[in-house]
Structure 1
Amino acid sequence: MTTARGRPGRPPLTEERRAAVRLEIAHAAVELFVAQGVTATTGEQIGRAAGVSARTVWRYFPTKESCVRPLFSAGIDMVAAALRRWQPGRSLEQAFDDLWTVDSRLPGLDIGALLRLTRTEPGLRAVWLQTHDEAEPAFARALAERAGLPPDDARPAIGAAMLNAALRAAVEHHAYRTTDPGSDREEALADLIGNLRTAVAMTSAGLL
C-alpha cells in the first residue's frame, strides 16, 4: 500500500515574503523606468533586475506600470493606520505624530523620481490616482468608526476626500520640487514633513 505524498518543491511563500518580493519588483521597475522610460522597459527586464522570473512579475502585477503600486500604497496604508489609531480627545495632528518621528517609514523620498514620471507617463499617473481613489473608503471607514457614524454617512466620505486630496497634493509638491538626486536627505525630509503637516492642519478643522 502506498502513501500519498504532496508534490515536491519549495514551500509556499509567507505573506511577509510575498510583500518583500512585491517591493523588490517595485524598486527594480522604478529604476528601469527612470533610466530608460516606461515604453522601453519590459517585464523580463524588471524580473532580471529584481532577481525573479518574468512569470513571477506577472503573477504579482497585471501590467508593468502596476509594478510600482507598493511604493504608492505604502504611505496611504500608514495614513489609514494613523486614522484608525486616532483617539477621541486628540487632535488629528497628534494622531499623525508617529509618522513624523520615524523617517524610515516615510516613502516620499523613495518615490520622488517616480512621481515626477507620472507627469509624462499616463499609465503611471493612472496607477497613482487609482491608488488614492481606492484609499478613500478606508479613510472614510476609520473616520466613521471614530465618530460612531454609520458607514453610509456622507460626512466621513467628504472628510476622507478632503484629507486624501490634501496629502496627495503635499507629496506631489515635494516630489516635483526635489529634482536634485544629490540634495541633502535631511533637508528634503524636513520639506516633505512640512508639506504633510500643512496638509493635515488645513484639513483637520473639517474632519470629524
Structure 2
Amino acid sequence: MHEAPSAERGQTTQADGRPSLAQRRKTALRLEIAGAAVRLFASQGVTATTGEQIAQAVGISGRTLWRHFPTKESCVLPLFSAGLEFAVEQLGNWPPETGLLDFFTDSCRNGELPPTAPVLLELIRMTSTDPALRAVWLQAHDDALPVLGELLARRSGGNADDLRIKVHAATLNGALRAAAEDFARRFADDPETPDGEIATCLLAALRAASEGLPY
C-alpha cells in the first residue's frame, strides 16, 4: 500500500496483472529487512540500532539497504502496511447491501482477523514512545487514505476528491489505527491476550466512528 507497483521503475507486473518476479523478490527482501529491523529495535532499542546492523542481519550491504529505505526507522514500513493492506483486501469483499459495521462483525466472526504477530504488536507499541517510528506508522496510514477514499467513492458512486468521502476515509483510517494501538497496548500488558481480542478493539473503534461527533 505504501507504494503502488506502477510507481516502480521498470516492468513490475506481468501480462495477467500479477507482480513480476523482480517485484516479488523486492517485496520479499523489504519484508525480510523489516523483520530484522523490528527484532533489533525490540532487543536493543531504536537509538542503539544502526542501518548497518540491520543490513548485516539480513545479509546485504548497507548500500542495498539504503536503496530500499531512506532511514533505519522506515525499514519497518512494510510491516505497518501489511495490516492496512489486509483491511483494504477485506473491504474489497464488502457486499453492497451490508453496512460497514455488520460486514466487519461477520468477517471477525468468520475468523478473518488482522495480523496479530507479537513482533508487529511490539512494533506498534513502540510507536507510542519513539517519535521517528511514530512518523513511519502515521505515514503508513496516510499512504492508505487515497486507497480507502477510492474504495468508498466506488461504493457510494461519489468522487474520491469530495470532502465528504475524504472525511469518511479519514474516519475509517483513524478507527483502524486506534484499534491496532489499543490491542497492542492490551497485548503488552498481558501477552496471554487472545488473538480474537483484536476483533473487540476493531468493532469498538468502528462503533465509535459510526457515532460521528455526538457533542
Task: Tell me the TM-score normalized by structure 2.
Answer: 0.79
1:91 Cα shift?
2.3
Please list, as runs of the form range in 1=range in 2, the aligned pairs for 1:35-184 lying within 5 A after superposition. Answer: 35-96=43-104, 97-98=106-107, 101-103=111-113, 106-107=115-116, 109-179=118-188, 183-184=191-192
- The residue that corresponds to 2:16 in the other structure is none
1:132 Cα shift?
0.9
- The residue that corresponds to 1:199 in the other structure is 205
Alignment root-mean-square deviation, CA: 2.3
* Preserved CA contact (<8 Å) 1:108 1:192: no
| Residue identity in the other structure for 1:155 | R
1:203 Cα shift?
3.0
* Preserved CA contact (<8 Å) 1:109 1:189: no
| Residue identity in the other structure for 2:52 | E
**Fraction of identical pairs, as percent:** 48
In 1: Cα distance, 2:198 partner to 2:117 partner: 7
1:15 Cα shift?
1.5
| Residue identity in the other structure for 1:148 | G
* Preserved CA contact (<8 Å) 2:127 2:133: yes
In 2: Cα distance, 1:141 partner to 1:69 partner: 22
Deviation readout 1:128-179 (Å, 9 max, x if unpaired): 1111122112111100111111222222111111111111111111112222
1:32 Cα shift?
0.6
Task: Tell me the TM-score normalized by structure 1.
Answer: 0.82
Deviation readout 1:172-202 (Å, 9 max, x if unpaired): 1111222268x33xx4312112111222333
- Contiguous gaps of at least 5 residues in structure 2: 1-19
Q: 3-state SS of the aligned residue for 2:206?
A: helix
In 1: Cα distance, 2:44 partner to 2:184 partner: 19
- The residue that corresponds to 1:189 in the other structure is 195
Quick check: which has more Rg, 1 or 2?
Answer: 1
1:98 Cα shift?
4.4
